[in-house]
Structure 1
Amino acid sequence: MHAVTRLRLSSGLTRLYDAAIAGLAAAATCWILVLMGLICADVVGLKLFASPIYGVIELTEKSIVPVVFLQLAYAARTGRITRIDFLYAPIARVSPTSARLLDVLFAGTGLAILGILSSFLLTDFRHALESGAYFGTMTIFSAPIWPFTLATLIGAAALAVEFLRQLGVAAMAAVSPDLRRQTAPRELIVFALALAAFGLAVTALIGADLDPVTLGVLSIVFLFAFLMSGMPVPIVLSLVGLGAIWLVRDNPAVAFRTLKVAATGTIDKFDFGVVPLFVLMGLLTNVADIGRDAYKVAAWWTRRLLGGLGVATVVANAIFAAVTGISIASAAIFSRVAVPQMTAHGYSARFAAGTVAGSSILGMLIPPSLLLIIFAFVTDSSVGRLFVAAAIPGILLAGLFCITIVLLARFIPGWVGDATSNDDLEPETFASSMRLLFPIAVLVSVVLGGIYLGWFTPTQAGAVGAFAALVLALVRRKLTWRNFKEILTETGQISVSVLFLIIGASVFSRALVMTSLPMDLVRGATEMELGFWAIVTLFVGIVIVMGMFLDSTSIIVITVPLVQPLITSLGGGIIGPDVVIWFGILTIVAVEMGLLTPPFGIAAFVVKAALGNQVSLGDVYLGALPYLAAMLVLIGLLIAFPALVTVVL
């Protein structure tokens, strides 16, 4: 009886805990919607009545940090914090006990870092409350700081509690009788030896008098070791950054203060509001069936071409990419829309699935693009200029994809399949096509036109675009209360996974600067007379390989801060003052190849998940190979003709 009572109590507490962290996340995502409305009202007031709403920018800046932290516990609970399972998954299969012990290590590390951060946030909250600190300008707009500090503290503490929960679950699993019976003594011995070796290495580092550059190199080694082990990426970045700062400055207090400054002072800028707003816009356009309409029009007008439905998929993806910056959304939509149409007309499932996966990456190159926004934040570049610079390469890549399909259909027809006539497609006139594409044209004009013409900042354009997409979904009667809640939840989870990575990357980047490793790399490359193009080629190759194991955002936040000083120093006289913008476009193309390469290949996974047993994962990867070749061609063109990027700047 007592056991049953304890079980019920435990189940009740779990439900209460889950409801609590889900409530925190829901409050944060609802606030994103409020910020969207305020920014739109501010834009209307300023542009139409020359009367802005005072305080919107300041309120947005103060809101971003708590919005992220309030969602972190729920993101960790649902597995949305980015991690790499490249080595962890095989370890879990071979030795479940070792995997559980790794989980204990990961959760304990996260608990320690969030515990330290929470203590600093508690001090900040007390100071803000006692001092009556406020932001804004008195008599115009002002608000107290303490509610925002309190919300951030609650979010950090909730994440610490979640890591504590994970620690307890992993520890109990590691010592459970069932797992002990499956565990061979050698597994525990190997794990204990590995842990001891790591402990000795750390002890040696603490005791050794190493120069900062050596510590910088060792930081990168430890970074990749932890990443491959399966530890959450933001925690890895924070842990290694803290360790490096501690050793370089020989003072843990400096490291801990850096953590607090990075957590609260990295993303508290109006520009970072663009991330959740563009994600919200993309998800709303998905619900509004814009992708389906684009494919319907493109399929009819390309029906006479060789591989016409494949070309239609690329064209529709390019159109859809102009209103959403998320490749994964494109992969999910066109897997359901384009693949059934292609296979019904005789195209092979491998070609159809590979075409959807390959063309989906256009969403991260054709502006507005989430990865371009992330690159801008990491390099302190202009989001607007990156959007402008990406237009020609994006269109060029779409054209290369279309040429690839036509060449395959002409010279390797067996790869494409036995395509039949497309005359049974629903006919379209010019007028009907324009009617279907009109909503897309409006969104593109509002978002990109507003940015290019200087009417909006990217964040304002994201808010206006999200509001327009919301109205469009309502007018088309595609938005229900259920899918609206799903959109808000997904907006928050995608945004927090990106912004938490940026916070972790900020800690690591500050550590790299303190080690002076980037500056020494610049000096070493200059002394060794390594050519600019050799460095660029090496970087592209490394990024493509990393794409096999890491997600796109992680690659950018890890590699770009290390390499950018080299590119800027050596490339200014070759590419010109816009070398960082050119480097950004090149980086995005190389990084996006990782979406199509095994074993990570997230776009391939999304297509496979959407199609179920219609196609194997291996066939998706094979079907995407020609598009990888086209992307390599684009990289070659961007290197050979940098003006493809810079001519419009």
Structure 2
Amino acid sequence: MYLKSLKFVDSIINAVSVLFAWAASIAIILATLLICLDVSLRNLFSFPINGVSEIVGFGIVSVVFLQIGITIRRNRLIAAEIFSNIFQKISPNFSHLLNILFFSAALLVFYFISIYFWNDFYKSYVGGEFTGAIGAFQIPTWPFKLVNSIATIVIIFEIIRIVIIHINCIFQNGIGDKKDVILQLGLLLAVISISLFLLEAPLSRPALGFIAFGGMLLLVLIGMPIGIALMFSSFAGIWLIINKFPVAFKSLGMSSATAIQSFEFGVVPLFVLMGLLLERGDVGKDAFALAVRALRWLKGGLGIATVFANAIFASITGSSLASASVFSRIAVPPMVYHGFKNRFAVGVVAGSSVLGMLIPPSILLIIYGILAEVSIGKLFIAGILPGILLSCIFGLMIFCAVKFFPNTVLEKVNPSLEIPEVEEKQNGFLQILPILFLIFLVMGGIYAGFFSPTEAGAVGAFGALLTAILRKKINFQTFKEVVFETGFITSGILFLIIASSLYTRMLALSGIPMHLTSFLQEMDLNLITFLILHILIIILLGMVLDSVSALLILLPIALPYTIAMGVDQIWFGIITVIAIELGLLTPPFGLSVFVVKASLPKDLKVSLGDIFTGSAPFVVAMLFVIAILICFPWITTILI
């Protein structure tokens, strides 16, 4: 009876979480249509719709919190799982205990957020709070805040469910052997000892800040979901630094409620939606076929075609991982069939996939623009020439490898194998023409000032939907999957940005950026030395973290120094993004490498080591491009 009651309650929570996730996904579609309508009326009839920016700004917060519940249930929170997988193998009970502690911390965080949200809703409702301008338009804010409040309650229930599951697993496994008992007791003693030390030790603000920063990194490395680790360590850090709970509570609540409450943050779900629609529309396959037909006359033309098809695909999706997944399936088999070594074929796909985060539109450039408070449109334009340069260097490297060192890349040195037979399409260019027009529309619209990056994302998403429908590449079921996946990705990224906002506030209160800037200036550290140090740290972070998390953790520390040095923030952003992309190819994490491995046909025997080795030349090429951009910074700024 007890188990049946639990299952019944769980089914209700699941149904509500799914319902909220669909509400969030539908809200993204409605925002797309509303923004497109506003852009059309404004540019064609000089008749804009009042309140679009405000609706999107308040709505994007609700979209994220509506989606978090199902994200937790389906284990889609972004986390570094290397060490957690090791713990699971060594001692399952220890792994379960870690997760109990992780989600207990999450429960505490969301409990405080829910209190703040309910108080905020009550004040908004009673006080008749609205956004807009008297005499023009007025939109009440309490409906948005009510949605946020209800969503946090569902999130709390989902977290409690996870904690109960892990507690139940420990009881089912039993107390375990001596090793299990020692590990579990050691973990509990460590948590208690650290807590007592932090409460009693007379430490300075910077010292507490560094402890909070180090604690956050440790929590991330041992498997705590990154957004929760950022929030919990930052909340605890502010509490310890200021020694006043109300300040920490208000900081947590304000970051959750207002960090992404802006029209500009709508750019994330809209470009994600655009990329997913085109990915499902076989754009990568068509781009690859076109590139092969155009470059088959070159030595190594199939490999070079993979690079440039990746560049075209990247300019549409803005995702390195999407590129890695798609081209693992469509490019590696023909490359292997026509004589390329397995290691080289997978290396080309993994290496060229990084173009997705440099060639606009890029999610990383969007996040950098938000954090650095620089124009996302200018960042997009600045990424064009470096993206083309990187593509050309990749292509030249493949050409030289096939021409001068054929034994290293080909199974059989046979010229006929270097000119592949591909499926001929008389209308190959016509197949890709709508996609090229969409790229021109989005980037040209931003460059010409017809619309902002967020509006460009909406226009691009709507255009991508029309393109997929006209090409008969999408049906209603596929569309539903795309919209739901958009919600998952959006909530994951924007929740990290919310957590990063609190983390930045903690760093500012600790004085770490100011002390670090003063320290580096006293060392008389020149810009080149700082950049080398910055790039090395980014690569190290990229070895164990995903790109977005590495960017969010490091930028709040690095930006104050670059601003004090008078560094061009657009140029610095392009270099930072390329350096972060190196992490996608470096062990042990190397996310692109893992995606390639998971996406390869099952009959193709390739190890992770083969992919890391095959992509190593591309890492060297990326370092070379970074050096070029440092020596010739005008390459990034000449088009702006």
TM-score scaled to structure 1, two decimals? 0.95
Q: Give 2:206's aligned amino acid.
A: V
Q: Give 2:572's aligned amino acid.
A: F
Match of 2:500 among 493, 498, 505: 505
Partner Cα distance (2:446, 2:211) in 1: 42
Partner Cα distance (1:490, 1:349) in 2: 31
**TM superposition shift of 1:410:** 2.0
Counterpart of 1:434? 429
Partner Cα distance (2:9, 2:405) in 1: 61
Q: Partner of 2:490: helix, strand, or coil?
A: helix
Q: Partner of 1:87: helix, strand, or coil?
A: helix
CA contact (8 A) 2:69 2:158 kept: yes
Partner Cα distance (1:269, 1:624) in 2: 39
* Cα gap change, 1:452 to 1:587, in 2 (>3 Å): same
2:601 is aligned with 1:605? no
Which structure 2 residues correspond to residues 77-476 of structure 1 after superposition, within 5 A? 77-176=73-172, 178-180=173-175, 183-417=176-410, 418=412, 420-422=417-419, 424-427=421-424, 432-476=427-471
Mean Cα deviation higher: 262-271 or 633-642? 633-642
Counterpart of 2:609? 618
Q: Give 1:238's aligned amino acid.
A: M
Counterpart of 1:46? 42
Partner Cα distance (2:418, 2:226) in 1: 49
Mean Cα deviation higher: 604-613 or 625-634? 604-613
CA contact (8 A) 1:307 1:416 kept: no
Partner Cα distance (1:622, 1:18) in 2: 43
Q: Give 1:23's aligned amino acid.
A: L
Which structure 2 residues correspond to residues 481-520 of structure 1 after superposition, within 5 A? 481-520=476-515
* Cα gap change, 1:423 to 1:108, in 2 (>3 Å): closer
Counterpart of 1:596? 585
Q: Partner of 2:202: helix, strand, or coil?
A: coil
**TM superposition shift of 1:186:** 3.4
CA contact (8 A) 1:96 1:179 kept: no
Q: Give 1:254's aligned amino acid.
A: V
Partner Cα distance (2:238, 2:156) in 1: 22
2:623 is aligned with 1:632? yes
CA contact (8 A) 2:32 2:270 kept: yes
**TM superposition shift of 1:10:** 4.0
Alignment gaps of 5+ in structure 1: none
Q: Give 1:414's aligned amino acid.
A: N
Match of 1:24 among 17, 20, 23: 20
Counterpart of 1:37? 33
* Cα gap change, 1:341 to 1:516, in 2 (>3 Å): same
Partner Cα distance (1:324, 1:92) in 2: 35
Partner Cα distance (1:199, 1:115) in 2: 22
Partner Cα distance (1:68, 1:23) in 2: 14
Q: Partner of 2:214: helix, strand, or coil?
A: helix
**TM superposition shift of 1:23:** 1.0
Mean Cα deviation higher: 624-633 or 551-560? 624-633
* Cα gap change, 1:423 to 1:580, in 2 (>3 Å): closer
Counterpart of 1:648? 639
**TM superposition shift of 1:138:** 3.9
CA contact (8 A) 2:13 2:158 kept: no
**TM superposition shift of 1:433:** 4.3
Counterpart of 2:572? 583
2:90 is aligned with 1:75? no
Q: Give 1:553's aligned amino acid.
A: V
Q: Give 2:131's aligned amino acid.
A: F
Partner Cα distance (2:248, 2:601) in 1: 47
CA contact (8 A) 1:87 1:229 kept: yes
* Cα gap change, 1:563 to 1:8, in 2 (>3 Å): same
Alignment gaps of 5+ in structure 2: none
Partner Cα distance (2:348, 2:127) in 1: 59
**TM superposition shift of 1:297:** 0.9
**TM superposition shift of 1:421:** 4.8
Partner Cα distance (1:303, 1:532) in 2: 43
Question: Deviations 1:220-257 (Å, cap 9, x if unpaired)?
Answer: 21111111111111111111111121122110110010
Partner Cα distance (2:145, 2:408) in 1: 58
Q: Partner of 1:648: helix, strand, or coil?
A: coil
CA RMSD of aligned residues (A): 1.5
**TM superposition shift of 1:481:** 1.3
Q: Give 1:520's aligned amino acid.
A: H
Mean Cα deviation higher: 436-445 or 229-238? 436-445
Question: Deviations 1:235-294 (Å, cap 9, x if unpaired)?
Answer: 111111111211221101100100011001110000000000000000111122221111
Partner Cα distance (2:345, 2:6) in 1: 48
- Identical pairs, percent: 40
CA contact (8 A) 1:300 1:428 kept: no
TM-score scaled to structure 2, two decimals? 0.96
Partner Cα distance (1:424, 1:193) in 2: 62
* Cα gap change, 1:179 to 1:85, in 2 (>3 Å): farther
**TM superposition shift of 1:108:** 0.5
Q: Partner of 2:501: helix, strand, or coil?
A: helix
Residue correspondences, number: 634
**TM superposition shift of 1:427:** 4.5
2:547 is aligned with 1:558? no
CA contact (8 A) 1:357 1:620 kept: yes
Q: Give 2:441's aligned amino acid.
A: V
Partner Cα distance (2:398, 2:509) in 1: 49
